[in-house]
Amino acid sequence: MKYFVLKPKGNSKYAAASRKALRAYANHIFSTDEDLAAGLLNWADKESFVSEKDIKAVKTAGLFND
């Protein structure tokens, strides 16, 4: 096998695992390719962003209080 695909967008356990893999790889290569590592970390952070719609749904369900 030469490669595999990660899908970091979403709230599934697979998306979370993909973001974790991106961060681990970025940390591993940081000393040799700082720009690529920073891009991967940024990508993982961007995909794990919780939208206002998600926050509203959680509040509406009574699962979170400010």
5-54 per-position pLDDT tens digit: 899 888 788 888 999 999 999 999 999 999 999 999 999 988 876 666 66
In a domain, 51, yes or no: yes
Q: How many domains does the chain have?
A: 1
In a domain, 31, yes or no: yes
Residue 37 sits in which domain range?
13-60
In a domain, 3, yes or no: no
Q: What is the model's pLDDT at position 50?
A: 64
In a domain, 6, yes or no: no
In a domain, 4, yes or no: no
For tokens 């970390």, the residue is 41
In a domain, 18, yes or no: yes
In a domain, 32, yes or no: yes
Residue 4 zone, left/alpha/beta (φ > 0; ψ -120 to 50; rest): beta
In a domain, 47, yes or no: yes
Residue 56 vs residue 24, higher pLDDT: 24
CA–CA separation, 17 and 61 (whole Å): 26
